[in-house]
Structure 1
Amino acid sequence: MGYARARAVLRSTDTVQAGLGVETVEKLPPSIRRPVLYRDGEEHREHRRQTARYFTPRRVDEHYRDLMERAADQQIETLRQQGTADLAKLSFRMAIEVVCAVIGLTESRPGLDRRLDRFFPEKFGKPGFTSLNGIYWVFKQNIQFLGIYLADVRPAVKVRRRQRRDDLISHLIDEGCRDGEILGECLTFAAAGMVTTREFVNVVAWHLFTDDVLRDRYTGGDDTTRVALLHELLRLEPVVGNLKRRTTGPVGDIPDGRLVDIDVSTANLERVDEGPGLSFGDGPHKCPGAYVAVQEADIFLSKLFAQPRLTMLKPPRVTKKPDISSYELRDFMITVRPQG
């Protein structure tokens, strides 16, 4: 499917979200509010309209840029002190701190990065009650849900039920969401804002370590040049390579009731406008935190590659999640120690 056709499907109001575990969510009782990722229609549009203020470029610059600077400095100081570090862990801690500030997960116990790694493991099993392996994954998934709820979500909600703050959790409380529903929203933003940003930062860094010309363009460029380069790399290396929609009416020549699987990587090759193509999606479900992700990636990477003697010790280990054509880069060891 070409770029224009794929974009038309994503922008159409005659489609609904598919994939990304929506089939499991649809089995929840009607009384439980679905996370915004799995809602469509007027309810979804109204929620996005009310929460858009948390992700505008102006708000990000005014409220979160200083936080991004501090978080990046903290992780790079960790690298300097240790001499050698796993870039995947540094970038994940950076992404977690930024997204937690946006959504309001600011009362967490230490170790949220480890809890999220357990919740989003490299290899997923299929939960179910027809096999021992399925039962194991049901039990494991519920344990991880409970751990994040008790250590991260419940403390944040408790504070905000007493006194609201200017963040997403406070907004959800005002909308009447229960704790379990807030947990679902927080995990959605964790996947979309923390996990994917880590992979984006890692894949860009890998390119910069292995292409001297590209590295010189990035480190020697101004803000506009660097962001354009990040957009281009994201166009060519989308973190989520496939997006699915189900039609609820005819969309061009696609009839009602069809499952449409959009190959983002292929569609992006035909992009005719500026920017990252469809790598942040498009239409009603376009990633609201796109500007957040690009800005924090640029702040972290520009600081990282300004470090003297920065070297990649070994390329990262790459795994794939075939259901969404996503990549994960792990054990990405870098150093600022002199080599010799």
Structure 2
Amino acid sequence: MSQSTCPVSGENRRKTNYPGEKLEPAVEVVDGVWHVRDMAAAREVLRSRNTTQAGFNVETINMGWLRPPILFSDGEPHRTQRAAIARYFAPKTVARNYHELMEGYAEQLVDEFRASGSVDLSQLSLRYSVVVAAQVVGLTNSDYEKMARRLERFFDTPVAPTQATRPATATLRSRFETLRVSTAGQLPMLSFHLHDVRPAIKARRKQPQSDVISHLIEAGYSELEIMIECITYGAAGMVTTREFIGMATWQMLEHDELRARYLAGDKADRHLVLHEILRLDPIVGHLLRRTTAPIDVVVDGEQVTIPAGSLVDLYIRGTNADPKVVGEAPLDLCPGRELPPRVGAEVMSFGDGAHKCPGNSLAIQEADVLLQRLLRLPIRLATRPTIAWDELIKGYEVRNIRLVLDRDA
């Protein structure tokens, strides 16, 4: 990609730099953990059948008799579940079933913004992403606005200390802290279950729909298992899309050429811009896997063997800035980079392999529908956005992103 065709070049345009995180070396072992920043090696690990999910606290959470949610499962059970839900997230299904909904609700939110002249984008994007994801999942029998608030309270609850994170000798104070945090997380979860999940299940037992909850009922999932899956899809489809909309708005309001290119393009051109923003600042910063057998990867022309039983930490910000893959100036914002065959424009922002995000097409279409309408308005940032970090996935949260309408423009 030549610098002349890059609208935002010349320096590091990445907004998110996790404290202390390195982009090199390509592979290193620290305290027995394999840290992988090479894109090809990371993809090999994610596509290998000789690994299990190790992220999202999966190794410290005991599901007991419950069926593990799709995010935690591996092997044949995972492949079966993924195949069953794929139809709900297919690009043609998204365009046919949800595009009109996205457009209508985006128009409503933008009209509200026009009337008020000011908006907290993190709240607007949360309302929008909740409504869209709820349609796909089947959470359509309760008040969307209240559901958004319930989910926000749940996801804002600190993660309860696990046996892995607790001190070797737990003090009385630390045990009470574990109890306090655990209880704080259960209350909004119970509220979400009673007000949103249970009414949806009841309605679909009477009349099944083309959505995830109807599929789970047919597959024999219990009410509690369905609720856990709804939390999983809530995190994946609501929270992450919310953050991406905030990041994309921030980047395009700071770079007029990028915004102009986005608004002037057709659907394919606009999606290239969005994918490049996501490549530069992926929502999920790290993915973890545990090897069940040795895995051979090639790094800089040399074969490296990751032993069985190893914990592998895949640095997505590192893989997405691998110059061997994305070319020169990997931290510039250059939509339409020349990439190797079978490498998507977002590189590894949606993951890869068995656990690759099934909602990638939905997320990009959803963001595009809202951003087109929002960015055509004469708007500006009234505040300097800030970045907070989710320690579980080293992912970011864009906050303090207030937009104002310039009525004199």
TM-score normalized with structure 2 length: 0.80
Q: CA contact under 8 A between 1:127 and 1:135: conserved in structure 2?
A: no
1:17 and 1:40 in contact (8 A); partners too = yes
Range 61-70 or range 313-322, more displaced: 313-322
Give how far 1:125 is off: 4.7
Aligned to 1:258: 310
Deviations 1:297-317 (A, max 9, x none): 01110110112x211111222
Is 1:113 the counterpart of 2:113? The answer is no
1:75 is aligned to 109
Match of residue 32, structure 1, among 66, 70, 82: 66
State the shift of 1:328 in Å: 0.4
| Alpha-carbon distance in 2 for matches of 1:124, 1:32 | 20
Residue matched to 2:215: 171
- AA partner of residue 407 (structure 2): P
The question of whether the paired residues in 1 share the 8 Å contact of 2:263 and 2:376 is answered with yes
Match of 1:212 among 244, 253, 256: 256
Determine the structure 1 residue equivalent to 2:21. Answer: none
User: Measured at CA, do residues 322 and 69 of structure 1 come closer, stay the same or move farther in structure 2, by a change above 3 Å?
Assistant: same
Most deviating of 34-43 and 328-337: 328-337
CA distance in 2 between partners of 1:274 and 1:265 (Å): 15
Q: Contact 1:127 / 1:137 at 8 angstroms: preserved in 2?
A: no
8 Å contact kept, 2:69–2:228: yes
Query: For the residues of structure 1 that align with 2:200 and 2:162, how far apart are their CA atoms?
Result: 29
Displacement of 1:179 in angstroms is 0.7
Task: Please give the alpha-carbon distance, in whole angstroms, between the structure 1 residues aligned to 2:60 and 2:197.
Answer: 22
Q: Any conservation in 2 of the 1:122–1:319 contact (CA below 8 Å)?
A: no
CA displacement, residues 230-267 of structure 1 (integer Å, 9 cap, x when unaligned): 11111110000100010111111111111100000111
Deviations 1:60-100 (A, max 9, x none): 11111101101211111121121101011111111111100
The answer (yes or no) to whether the contact 1:245–1:260 under 8 Å persists in 2 is yes
Q: Could you list the runs of 5+ residues in structure 2 that have no partner in the other structure?
A: 1-35, 164-171, 297-304, 326-339
What's the offset of the Cα at 1:122? 7.0
Task: Tell me the amino acid that sits aligned with residue 118 of structure 1.
Answer: R
Q: Given the alignment of the two structures, is residue 59 of structure 1 paired with residue 129 of structure 2, yes or no?
A: no
Structure 1: gaps of 5 or more residues = none
Name the CA distance, whole Å, in 1 between partners of 2:272 and 2:197. Answer: 36
Distance 2:306 2:104 in 1: 48
The amino acid across from 2:363 in the alignment is A
Match of 1:132 among 176, 181, 185: 176
Find the residue that maps to 1:22 and give its secondary structure: coil
**What residue in structure 2 maps to residue 104 of structure 1?**
138
Moved more, 254-263 or 316-325: 316-325
- Structure ID, larger Rg: 2
Which residue pairs with 2:167 in the alignment?
none
User: 2:318 matched to 1:283?
Assistant: no
- Residue number among 73, 78, 90 corresponding to 2:124 in the alignment: 90
Q: Which residue of 1 aligns with 2:50?
A: 14
Confirm or deny that 1:5 pairs with 2:49: no
Q: Residues 209 and 311 of structure 1 are in contact (CA less than 8 Å); yes or no, is this contact kept in structure 2? A: yes
Contact 1:51 1:168 in 2 (8 A): yes
The total of aligned residue pairs comes to: 337
Give the AA of the match of 1:55: F
Q: Is the Cα–Cα contact under 8 Å of residues 157 and 181 in structure 2 kept in the other structure?
A: no
Deviations 1:126-178 (A, max 9, x none): 36895221111111111111010011000000101111111110000001111
Name the aligned partner's letter for residue 301 of structure 1.
L
Opposite residue 238 of structure 1, the aligned amino acid is P
Question: Contact (CA 8 Å) 1:19, 1:244: kept in 2 or not?
Answer: yes
Aligned runs of 1:260-339 on 2, under 5 Å? 260-270=312-322, 271=325, 272=340, 273-307=343-377, 309-338=378-407
Query: Matches of 2:105 and 2:210 in 1, distance apart?
Result: 20
Distance apart, 1:50 and its partner CA: 1.2
C-alpha separation in 2, matches of 1:137 and 1:153: 23
Residue 334 of structure 1 aligns with an amino acid whose one-letter code is: L
Shift of 1:331: 2.4
Indicate how the Cα distance of structure 1 residues 163 and 332 shifts in structure 2: closer, same or farther if over 3 A, else same.
Answer: same
For normalisation by structure 1, the TM-score amounts to 0.95
Q: In structure 2, what is the equivalent of residue 231 of structure 1?
A: 275
8 Å CA contact 2:157–2:185 kept in 1: the answer is no
Give the structure with the larger helix fraction.
1
> Match of 1:184, as an amino acid?
I
